[in-house]
Amino acid sequence: MAENLDPEMGSQEQTSTTTTAQDTSTQTATAPAPAAPAQETFSWKSKLGEDLSKAPLLQSYDDSVEGLKKAVSTHVNLEKMLGHEKVPLPKGPKDTEGQAVFNKALGVPDQPKGYNLPDVTLPEGMGDGAFDKDTFQQVVHKHHLTPAQAAGLWKDYTEMSGNMYSSTVKNFENQMDQNINQLRKEWGDAYAANVELGDMSIKKLSDSKEMEDWLTATLAKNPYGMKYAAKVGNTFAENKVGEFQYKRFAMTAEEAKNEVARIKSDPAHPYSSEKATEADHQAAVDHVNRLIAISMGKKLG
C-alpha cells in the first residue's frame, strides 16, 4: 500500500479527526439525563368506589398498606368466627327453653352437683362448717355460671374468707398480748392466779363448751373483761356466793311456794344440812321466811 507523502493532506486529516472528537465530547457532556418515572401513590380505598370507600366501617382503617392489612385481617377473623356453631341468646328471664339451650352450649351443668367443686383446705381452727359447698353450687347454678366461672369464684371466695379469718385470729392474738402485758404490770406475781380464777369462773357458769369459748373470747378482748372474770372467780374461791344466792327480784306467790318446797326437800341445802355453817344456815332460813311471806301475798320492802 502506497504511503501518503503529502504533508498537507496528513495535517488536514489529523485536524479533522481532532475536531470530530472534540464535538463528540462536547455533545456527551451537555446532554440532559433521562427523568425517572413518577411513583404512583398507594390508595386501596380509591379502588372501591365512592359508596364503599366512605362506609363507616372502613373509616377506622388508614388508606395505606398497613391499613389494608388490618382490614383484611379483621375480615378473615370474622369469617372464622362466623364459621363456628351459632347459639341464639335467651329472649329474657322467662325464656327458660332458650336459657337451657344457651346453658348447654356454654357447658353449664344440669344440676348444681355437676360443678364438682373441690373441697376447701381450711385454716386451723376455722371449723368444718365454714363453707357450704352444696349451697354455693346451688347459688352459682341459679345464676347460670359456667364450670370455669364457678370454680374460679369458689377458689377466690374460700381463699378470701380464709385469709380474713387468719387475719382476725392474728389481730385477736395481738390484742391478747397487749392485754396480758398490761395485766402483768398491774397484777404482778398474782397474774397467773387471777387468770386461773377467771378461767374457773367461766367454766363454772357456762352451760356448754360453745358458751365457754364465747365468754373467753369476749372477755379476753379487753382487760376489763379479764378483771371481771377474775373477780367472779375470786368470789367463788372465797365462798362468797351465798351473799348473792338468796337475792331475787320479782317472784309470784306460786313461784315462792314452789321454791320453799324445793328447798325443804333438799337435804343438802344449807336450810337442812348439818354440814352448813351457821352463817349459811341463817341466810337460808331468812331466805325461806322471805319466800313464805311472798307466797302469802305479803309485799316486802
- C-alpha dist (Å) from residue 256 to 92, 107, 244, 245, 276: 68, 70, 17, 15, 23
Measure the CA–CA gap between 93 and 86, rounded to whole angstroms: 20
| Over residues 233-259, mean pLDDT | 71
Measure the CA–CA gap between 129 and 119, rounded to whole angstroms: 12
Measure the CA–CA gap between 235 and 230, rounded to whole angstroms: 9
- Predicted confidence band at 89 (pLDDT cuts at 50, 70, 90)? confident
> Is residue 27's pLDDT more than 90?
no
- Predicted confidence band at 250 (pLDDT cuts at 50, 70, 90)? low
| Over residues 102-107, mean pLDDT | 82
Distance of CA 103 to the CA centre of its chain: 26
Q: Residue length, the chain? A: 301
Q: Kindly report, residue by residue over 186-230, the tens digit of the pLDDT.
A: 999 889 989 999 998 899 889 999 999 999 989 988 999 999 999
- Start-to-end Cα distance in the chain: 176
> Is residue 279's pLDDT more than 90?
no
- Could you give the angle at which helices 209-219 and 223-237 cross, rounded to 10 degrees? 120
Q: Which of 30-44, 141-155, 169-183 has the lowest mean pLDDT?
A: 30-44
DSSP label at residue 6: -
Q: How much of the chain exceeds pLDDT 70, in percent?
A: 77
> Is residue 1's pLDDT more than 50?
no
> Is residue 90's pLDDT more than 50?
yes
Q: Which of 71, 66, 70, 73 is nearest to 52 (CA)?
A: 71
Long-range CB pairs of 227-234 (<8 Å, 24+ gap) are: 227/183, 229/197, 229/198, 229/199, 229/201, 229/202, 230/194, 230/195, 230/197, 230/198, 230/201, 232/197, 232/198, 232/201, 232/205, 233/194, 233/196, 233/197, 233/198, 233/199, 233/200, 233/201, 234/194, 234/197
Number of other CB atoms surrounding residue 154 within 10 Å: 20
One-letter amino acid at 283 equals A
Q: What are phi and psi of 131, to 5 degrees?
A: -130, 125
Q: Kindly report, residue by residue over 151-165, the tens digit of the pLDDT.
A: 999 999 999 888 988
Q: What are phi and psi of 248, to 5 degrees?
A: -125, 160
pLDDT given at position 88: 75
> Is residue 240's pLDDT more than 80?
no
Number of other CB atoms surrounding residue 233 within 10 Å: 23
